[in-house]
Chains A and B, each alone.
Chain A
Amino acid sequence: MKWDWQVFLQDTGGGQTYLEWLMSAWGWTLSVALCALVVALLVGSLMGILRTVPNKWLVLLGNSWTELFRNIPLLVQIFLWYHVIPSIFLALRGVPSFMLVVFALGFFTSARIAEQVKAGIQTLPKGQRYAGLAVGLTLPQTYRYVLLPMAFRIVIPPLTSESMNIIKNSSVAFAVSIAELTMFAMQAQEETSRGIEIYLAVTGLYFISAFAINRIALFIENRVQVPGMIGGGK
């Protein structure tokens, strides 16, 4: 077979080239993934912390949250947000599908992040918690000044791989017609019949995005290192 990369310069029929469409699709992928990452980090950290506090109701809430969002496939969760929730809660009818997908992907990932954050807090010696409480800090202060600064540094590597997963998982948004990379791949392949070129370009952009996240996370990890700790160096 022969390569035909000029397909990207063809007009899509809508006044733009396939290359321009590809770039805007990449933008959608990154926006979905990054917005969902913010949701996932906030909610996941909160739920992870709740699973370690000395109150069985809050622990139960955190545990149920994690089990609920971990045991339903992402695609099904996206359908729930897109089809089911707006028809049960009519007030949510007008919410754009972009937001719905961001919440679906964000909550799905929050369950995994809660798991990591909980593990991070539990790897700290119990004495640190007691020491914090013993010097008169309240429980929230103990978390804020003693436990979380160390726990978050410990969980940076697993959070990095979750951030790369979220780029990959954002591809599931094709199912509710978000104009992201996978949607582009399917439609452009059908319109141009140059599937291999289209898929190669899309796969390459996924590679680049995940790699960029990996580098940014490594940069953050190096910046926040605690000297003397494992991997703390210098």
Chain B
Amino acid sequence: MTALDFSFFNWNVVSGFVIKGFFFSIQLTLIAMIGGIALGTVLALMRLSGKPWLVMPAAAYVNTLRSIPLVMVILWFFLLIPLLIGRPMGAELSAVITFTVFEAAYYSEIMRAGIQSVPKGQVYAGYAVGMTYAQCMQLVVLPQAFRNMLPVLLTQTIILFQDTSLVYAIGAYDLLKGFEVAGKNFNRPVETYLVAAVVYFVICFSLSMLVRRLQQKIQIIR
């Protein structure tokens, strides 16, 4: 067993290498979460609309993205976006677009379950008091769907945060990359990977504890 040496690890390392990546990971997670839930809700409404010309494209979108490995999706977008817009695009921006589009497929399945968890009678009640489809969704169904699915949406966001480490494939500078670069600079890769694992664990574990508490709270109110 070789001795581990963490002595090089001080605030300068954190502020010089890690913080930049940490902020990018958080930024990527938040943008992909908000964009993914918005797009995912639209996809879920399309799939539940009962109109074949809306159901089919939404189902194809969701099923295709859910059956391809995320790393391949990241590579596909990194290859295709520059071809489509005709100029190169940075790995970071490409990652933001990829994750929003990709996570929408997963969030849409959660939102679909959430919308289906609202009893049909409430929709009929909405129509009966003269609401339009949009009003009924906006005022009656979606608020309850969000509320019922909040713990699942947040759990998916924790998975999303873990998955952001996969931008490694296109060399974007995220939290993991920050640790890796620091490890290379000080020639201490073993220690930095260990610290990276601890940091990811602490973040994800505490978030999942919070989600669990939230879940219990929501259960009591219901």
Contacts and interface: CB of A to CB of B under 8 A. Distances in A.
Majority DSSP secondary structure for residues of A touching B = helix
B166 interface: yes
A196 interface: yes
B16 to A, nearest CB: 21
B1 A88 contact: yes
A210 interface: yes
Interface in A79-125: 79-80, 83-84, 87-90
Interface in A194-222: 195-196, 199, 202-203, 206-207, 210
A186 B2 contact: no
A85 B208 CA distance: 27
A206 B197 contact: no
Contacts of A88: 1-2, 4, 190
Interface stretch (B32-40, B141-149, B199-207): B199-207
A185 B72 contact: yes
Given A71-B200, A73-B162, A75-B176, A206 B68 contact: yes
Interface in B62-86: 67-72, 75-76, 79-80, 83
Contacts of A206: 67-69, 72
B68 A189 contact: no
Interface stretch (A38-46, A137-145, A171-179): A171-179
A77 interface: yes
A196 B83 CA distance: 11
B156 interface: no
A77 B197 contact: yes
A206 to B, nearest CB: 6
Tell which of A75, A77, A87 has the most Cβ of chain B within 10 Å. Answer: A75
Interface of B: 1-2, 4, 67-72, 75-76, 79-80, 83, 162-163, 165-166, 168-169, 176, 189-190, 193-194, 196-197, 200-201, 204-205, 208
Interface of A: 1, 67-68, 70-77, 79-80, 83-84, 87-90, 164, 167-172, 174-175, 182, 185-186, 189, 195-196, 199, 202-203, 206-207, 210
23 contacts: A1-B83, A68-B201, A71-B201, A71-B208, A72-B197, A76-B200, A84-B194, A88-B4, A88-B190, A89-B1, A167-B69, A168-B68, A168-B70, A171-B69, A171-B70, A172-B71, A175-B168, A182-B69, A185-B75, A202-B72, A206-B67, A207-B67, A210-B67
Contacts of A83: 189-190, 193
A182 B165 contact: no
Contact of A71 (B1, B71, B205): B205
A33 to B, nearest CB: 11
A203 B163 contact: no
Contacts of B72: 171, 182, 185, 199, 202-203, 206
B83 to A, nearest CB: 8
B106 to A, nearest CB: 12
Contacts of A76: 165, 176, 193, 196-197, 200
B79 A189 contact: yes
A73 B75 contact: no
A227 B72 CA distance: 41
B177 to A, nearest CB: 11
Given A84-B190, A203-B68, A195 B79 contact: yes
